[in-house]
Copies of this chain bind each other. A is one copy, B any other.
């Protein structure tokens, strides 16, 4: 929603910032690791977050990881994040340190 998520940057700039080749960047898209948008003409547009993702991907590739492993890892991280959020919500309602219930709930 802020500047980092807006897809505005062309692939040439992304190459400069990440040190990756166009070929690499397009391939990572093909492997569903990044999701640029397109102009009406079909030119790819990336966000700052995409650039950060690509730098992270580049590092993992250097470490010998494969694209599908990187995708799995990313999906697991998303799953964990969801889980933590749910835990947080449960805790807010039923945990030890929950806020006192509203009076309207004590109607019995």
Q: Which residues of A contact B (CB under 8 A)?
A: 3-4, 8-10, 12-13, 17, 39, 45, 48
Do residues B13 and A45 form an inter-chain contact, with CB atoms below 8 A? yes
Query: How far is it, in angstroms, between the C-alpha of A13 and the C-alpha of B38 when the chains are bound?
Result: 11
Sampled A-B contacts (11; CB under 8 Å) = A3-B3, A3-B4, A3-B48, A8-B9, A8-B13, A8-B17, A9-B9, A10-B10, A12-B39, A13-B39, A13-B45
What's the least CB distance linking A44 to chain B, in Å?
Answer: 12
Q: For A39, list chain B residues within 8 Å (CB).
A: 12-13
Q: For A10, list chain B residues within 8 Å (CB).
A: 10
9 residue pairs, one from A and one from B, having the closest CB atoms: A8-B13, A3-B3, A8-B9, A3-B48, A10-B10, A3-B4, A9-B9, A12-B39, A13-B45
Query: How far is it, in angstroms, between the C-alpha of A45 and the C-alpha of B3 when the chains are bound?
Result: 16
Q: For A9, list chain B residues within 8 Å (CB).
A: 8-9
